[in-house]
Structure 1
Amino acid sequence: MRLALIGAGRIGKVHAASIDAHPDVTLVAVADAISEAAEALAAPRGAQALSVDEIFDDASIDAVLIASSTSTHIDYLQRAAAAGKAILCEKPIALDLEASKAAAEAVTHAGGLCALAFNRRHDPQCAALKAALVDGRIGKLETLTFTSRDPAPPPMDYLKGSGGIFRDMMIHDFDMARWLLDEPIVSVHASGSCLVDPAIAEAGDVDTAVVVLTTTSGCLCSISVSRRAVFGHDQRIEAFGSLGMLQTQNETDTRLKVVGEQGQVEEAPQWFFLERYAKAYRQELDDFYQSWREGRAPRAGLNDGVEALRLAEAASRSLELGRVVYLEEL
């Protein structure tokens, strides 16, 4: 696969490292609004720094990975699809649900492969939990619990354009909930507070939130998020069923535990998502490549992006109205 990367910022660099590690994917071009950033990422890899127009016009480029700012995603998705490129796009499709639905329909109508970058589906622990659920290891799933905490809030400039904690941060948990529950979600109830930084409240957002999802069968899913965890990136899932329980744990650098007179001592969790999900990003790229090679659907597609955003929209509305919001309202 000859692949072009659009976006040379923080997440673009993460994807570039995954491309470097893949034996069958070659980075041939990089585009960015800041030409110097594109050149800095492209040159050491023997790739070209091109404009977005040049990438879409180059028939020798098989695929594009869209890692630019959210506001550009819809335009680049539609142009890439029209150019016949396979597409891997960072989440979200857009911050607006109706615009996301329209873009997804347009790209789907154009045909071709389009994967959405919900990297947690590709994490080894999360994938193993999904497989165990499918195999019936814990019987009927009754409750699903997510803990998702960042070590510290992102810069305020980022927060102001992020779409809020539900669309920006919790959207990964919404996607994982849909994937693991594997049945329709009928209602969303959200509560939120600003406990970390008053400036976040001034920007119209919360930094601490709990959301409860209810499915058609009555299965309950709770998601607890915070913009602050002083010990590192706190990422855990518990699935409780009629025959037992499944859990994913925080990752540390070595998983070493020391037991002695001082008690049990373990390493702190890995600090941020860049470390915690390094393997997931590599697996995500490989799933995209294998989907392209085999002509099959990717593990996460455009509809998954739309539905995760629908849950984020419901959570935002629930917090604003102070009541349960039913998905049929959206």
Structure 2
Amino acid sequence: MLNVGLLGAGRIGAVHARAISKHGASRLTAVSDAFQENAKAIADTYSAEVRTSEEIISSPDIDAVLIATPTDTHSDLIEAATGAGKAVLCEKPVDLDLARAIGCEARVAQTGRPVMVGFNRRFDRNFGALKAALDSGEMGKAELLSITSFDPAPPPIQYIKTSGGLFRDMMIHDFDMANFLMGDLPVTLSATGASIVDPDIGAAGDVDTAAVTLSYADGRIAVIKNSRRAVYGYDQRVELLCSEGLLQAENMTENTVVRSTRDGVSRAKPTYFFLERYMPAYEAEWDAFVSAVNNNAPMPVSLADGVAALAMAEAATQSAQSGLPVALANVIKDSGCGEAA
């Protein structure tokens, strides 16, 4: 049985607490949060203890730590937990600062402890089936990828102000999905962004609507589209044009009923919130983590994967600000840490 300490008892922490507790080979042992009432609520629900983060990291009865705290604490907690001999699953992104994230990766490597980054969409059954079809070779070579990710409504402005921006906070999931499907990093990124949903987002120095084009060394192209507002629901689609055909992963809808009348054909809207859409993916993600720890196997989403997606987010941010394409290698070099791992 894997005894787990949860650091962070907010909305996403509650999602992870449920996944940990539902799993037959893991137990939620302790919870910490800056707001003790949040930690107590989760601890009471799953018969766990409330402890400080420091106590969880140093506790000999804790085998693994799940980090769901604010992003600016991630690197410090990853280093502390792996230094104490724990296995770690950390929510994205690794850090808001690329150089800090690369430094964290180097320090964790010295401990030899496993770290997985929480890009849960890799474990969505629809995207997984698309990836499996691509890997089978039946569709030939991937040539043009399109990823659509629209939220139903913007998050609170206070969240926006500390999120690191749309490219680091929201689109980072799509950067990782592009890496997952294309099997390589792009050479250049060209981004454009605007604040057309909420003027307060623009006033906070962020964008709420953006598109990024990824260009690969072999000529392949990927396009990612993000918006903080889609009034019809949570829009999550992937389309991949290949040399032998087209692969598509469509939205999950509220139900599968299709109404066909003389006036037309209608169907249900996409599910409205990310928990409805991705809760099974969070559970599959946790299962993959537990399996890797128990079998001493490589993590399916590595710390290097997290650093790569963050480097792409930094490149997109720079491109959106300058209006020019940005070479990914230059972003990594400018971080002062040489080449990416």
* TM-score interval, smaller chain: over 0.9
Partner of 2:86 in structure 1? Answer: 85
SS in 1 for 2:215: strand
User: Which residues in structure 2 correspond to 1:61-80 (within 5 Å)?
Assistant: 61-80=62-81
Counterpart amino acid of 1:286?
Answer: D
Same amino acid, percent of matched pairs: 46
Greater shift in the superposed pair: 107-116 or 162-171: 107-116
Deviations 1:185-206 (Å, cap 9, x if unpaired)? 1000001111101111111111
Deviations 1:199-243 (Å, cap 9, x if unpaired)? 111111111111000111110000011000001100000000111
SS in 1 for 2:107: helix
Partner of 2:266 in structure 1? Answer: 265
Structure 2 alignment gaps of length 5 or more: 332-341
Give 1:246 shift.
0.4
Partner of 1:47 in structure 2? Answer: 48
Give 1:28 shift.
0.6
Counterpart amino acid of 2:187?
Answer: V
Deviations 1:289-327 (Å, cap 9, x if unpaired)? 000011111211100110001000000111111111111
Matched, 1:119 2:113: no
Partner of 2:337 in structure 1? Answer: none
User: Which residues in structure 2 correspond to 1:1-330 (within 5 Å)?
Assistant: 1-330=2-331
SS in 1 for 2:187: strand
* CA distance in 1: counterparts of 2:328 and 2:95, whole angstroms: 19
Counterpart amino acid of 1:66?
Answer: I
Q: Is the contact made by 1:91 and 1:116 (CA closer than 8 Å) also made in structure 2?
A: yes
SS in 2 for 1:65: strand
Q: How many residues align structurally?
A: 330
Q: Is the contact made by 1:287 and 1:299 (CA closer than 8 Å) also made in structure 2?
A: yes
Deviations 1:20-68 (Å, cap 9, x if unpaired)? 2211111010011111111111012110001111111211111010001
Give 1:261 shift.
2.9
Give 1:18 shift.
1.1
Deviations 1:91-144 (Å, cap 9, x if unpaired)? 011100000000111112111111000000000011111111111121111100
SS in 2 for 1:211: strand
SS in 2 for 1:54: helix
Counterpart amino acid of 1:57?
Answer: S
- Cα 1:218–1:3 change in 2 (3 A) is same
Counterpart amino acid of 1:318?
Answer: S
Counterpart amino acid of 1:287?
Answer: A
Structure 1 alignment gaps of length 5 or more: none
TM-score calculated relative to the size of structure 2:
0.95
Counterpart amino acid of 2:212?
Answer: V
* CA distance in 2: counterparts of 1:309 and 1:109, whole angstroms: 21
* CA distance in 2: counterparts of 1:187 and 1:7, whole angstroms: 35
Counterpart amino acid of 1:135?
Answer: S
Give 1:262 shift.
3.6
* CA distance in 2: counterparts of 1:328 and 1:17, whole angstroms: 39
Counterpart amino acid of 1:34?
Answer: F
* CA distance in 1: counterparts of 2:102 and 2:50, whole angstroms: 32
Counterpart amino acid of 1:281?
Answer: Y
CA RMSD in angstroms, aligned pairs only: 0.9
* CA distance in 2: counterparts of 1:178 and 1:101, whole angstroms: 18
Q: Which runs of 4+ in 1 moved over 3 A?
A: none
Give 1:256 shift.
2.5
SS in 2 for 1:147: strand
TM-score calculated relative to the size of structure 1:
0.98
Give 1:172 shift.
0.2
